[in-house]
């Protein structure tokens, strides 16, 4: 990250990154090939170009992938599917993408994958397993649905209401929380991109649980998401008059991200972890905040939590630990792949409060998907992701 970009993200009381962190990030990228970024015509080719397919391009996560890839130096979109919009240009579905030179949308059954090297699968939960099962073996795949996130296929059936139709592929899938599973992602063919809530929750909690600094029991999570997290389908409860000027909880005790959160935290603790998780819908378009209440292990101080998070993420570009006392705000990450976190002492002795914010459509979905495919392809992780927050 450049010093200019660094100062841009730290406009509100500053983050705890120092010049030495920027130097370490630069050092980590030494020897990697960077290509000058430019808008790409559909006919441009180069020896470094990777031809990309986007399945389910008419949804919000598909559109966000297209927006991010418009500035990617190596990835070029050559195939886009959207069964209900087949035959239409992308501008008729998403007018904000009218300037992009992209192929017309086609039905997935008509897609020819012989000229594609990697795909982003942005299809709804429950439909992806059959589609991916039929894709050619040469493809690198990042799946943004929940269909391959849960290792236990019986748990998938319990929470998603249908049997898993690709159990063999499930064994192959790598859970793609990039900062935690980078080495496994490098050699993966199929990556299950994490959900938005699990991303915002696991990034701060996994390092603290692994270091035995917090008790895995009695974790309470109060999370809030913008309306785009519910997708683009027309639903009565998502009408403007139903959402505006109010807030509501949903999925109490039964939100489908619960087993995904508990799977990741249980891996970190090496024992079964059960959390109390309540999500809320907020009348904003994008953004997510998770406020997490934890019990510190015996003898642990709030400074120990802060230091562990600092050590865990000091070399990470997209996870930012703010200065002591600075409160993460969703305005500060809008449209970006950043996760801002901080930790605070609770008024109750021995407890701490962790606040984590992300853009649910970027770090919580499409941005992390691009980051994962960059890792899979051996490109710099920040390729196509050097967007600064849209503010105000």
Q: For position 42, which CATH number holds? A: 3.40.50.720
- Say how far apart CA 324 and CA 328 lie, in whole Å: 11
5 belongs to a structural domain: no
- Say how far apart CA 328 and CA 289 lie, in whole Å: 8
Identify the pLDDT of residue 301.
98
- Dihedral, CA of residue 166, residue 266, residue 287 and residue 173, to nearest 10: -20
Identify the pLDDT of residue 156.
97
Task: Tell whether 369 and 335 lie within a shared domain.
Answer: no
What CATH number has the domain bearing residue 271? 3.30.360.10
Task: Tell whether 292 and 331 lie within a shared domain.
Answer: yes
306 belongs to a structural domain: yes
pLDDT < 70: residue spans in the chain: 1-47
pLDDT, one tens digit per residue, over 306-323 is: 999 999 999 999 999 999
Q: Phi/psi class of residue 358: alpha, beta or left (left: φ > 0; alpha: ψ in -120 to 50)? A: beta
- Say how far apart CA 284 and CA 277 lie, in whole Å: 21
Q: State the catalytic residues.
A: 196
24 belongs to a structural domain: no
Among 146, 353, 328, CA closest to 229: 146
Task: Tell whether 239 and 290 lie within a shared domain.
Answer: yes
Q: In this structure, are residues 170 and 153 in contact, taking their beta carbons and an 8 Å threshold?
A: yes
Task: Tell whether 202 and 182 lie within a shared domain.
Answer: no
DSSP state, residue 249:
E
Which structural domain range is residue 124 located in? 30-193+365-377
DSSP state, residue 108:
G
Identify the pLDDT of residue 237.
79
Identify the pLDDT of residue 235.
80
Task: Tell whether 85 and 183 lie within a shared domain.
Answer: yes
Q: In this structure, are residues 90 and 65 in contact, taking their beta carbons and an 8 Å threshold?
A: no
Identify the pLDDT of residue 29.
53
| HSE of 95, CA atoms in CB hemisphere, 13 A | 0
* Domain total in the chain: 2
Treating both helix axes as pointing N-terminal to C-terminal, what angle do 258-269 and 196-210 enclose, rounded to 10 degrees? 20
| HSE of 221, CA atoms in CB hemisphere, 13 A | 33
Task: Tell whether 154 and 271 lie within a shared domain.
Answer: no
β 219-225/288-295 pair status? antiparallel
Task: Tell whether 169 and 283 lie within a shared domain.
Answer: no
pLDDT, one tens digit per residue, over 45-60 is: 445 899 999 999 999 9
């Amino acid at each position: 990250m450049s010093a200019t970009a660094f100062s841009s993200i730290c406009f509100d009381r500053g983050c705890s990154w120092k010049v030495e962190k920027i130097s370490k990030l630069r050092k980590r990228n030494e020897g990697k090939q960077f290509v000058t970024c430019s808008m790409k015509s559909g006919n441009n080719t180069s020896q470094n170009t990777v031809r990309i397919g986007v399945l389910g391009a008419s949804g919000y996560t598909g559109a966000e992938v297209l927006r991010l890839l418009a500035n990617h130096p190596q990835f070029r979109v050559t195939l886009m599917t959207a069964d209900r919009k087949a035959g239409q240009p992308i501008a008729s579905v998403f007018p904000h993408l009218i300037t992009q030179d992209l192929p017309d949308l086609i039905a997935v059954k008509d897609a020819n994958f012989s000229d594609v090297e990697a795909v982003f699968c942005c299809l709804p939960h429950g439909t992806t397993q059959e589609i991916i099962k039929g894709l050619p073996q040469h493809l690198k795949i990042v799946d943004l649905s929940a269909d391959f996130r849960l290792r236990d296929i019986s748990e998938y059936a319990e929470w998603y209401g249908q049997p898993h139709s690709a159990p063999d592929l499930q064994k192959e899938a790598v859970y793609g929380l990039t900062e935690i599973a980078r080495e496994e992602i490098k050699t993966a063919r199929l990556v299950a991109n994490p959900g938005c809530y699990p991303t915002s929750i696991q990034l701060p909690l996994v390092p603290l649980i692994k270091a035995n600094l917090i008790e895995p029991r009695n974790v309470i999570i109060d999370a809030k998401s913008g309306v785009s997290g519910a997708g683009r389908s027309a639903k009565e409860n998502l009408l403007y008059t139903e959402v505006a000027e109010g807030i509501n909880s949903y999925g109490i005790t039964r939100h489908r991200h619960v087993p995904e959160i508990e799977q990741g935290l249980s891996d970190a603790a090496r024992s079964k972890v059960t959390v109390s998780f309540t999500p809320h819908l907020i009348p904003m378009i994008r953004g997510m905040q998770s406020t997490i209440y934890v019990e510190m292990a015996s003898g642990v101080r709030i400074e120990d939590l802060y230091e562990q998070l600092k050590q865990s993420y000091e070399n990470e570009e997209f996870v930012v630990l703010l200065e002591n006392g600075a409160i993460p705000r969703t305005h500060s990450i809008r449209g970006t792949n950043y996760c801002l976190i901080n930790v605070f002492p609770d008024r109750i002795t021995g407890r701490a409060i962790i606040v984590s914010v992300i853009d649910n459509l970027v770090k919580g979905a499409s941005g992390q998907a691009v980051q994962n495919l960059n890792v899979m392809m051996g490109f710099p992780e920040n390729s196509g992701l050097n967007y600064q927050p849209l503010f105000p």
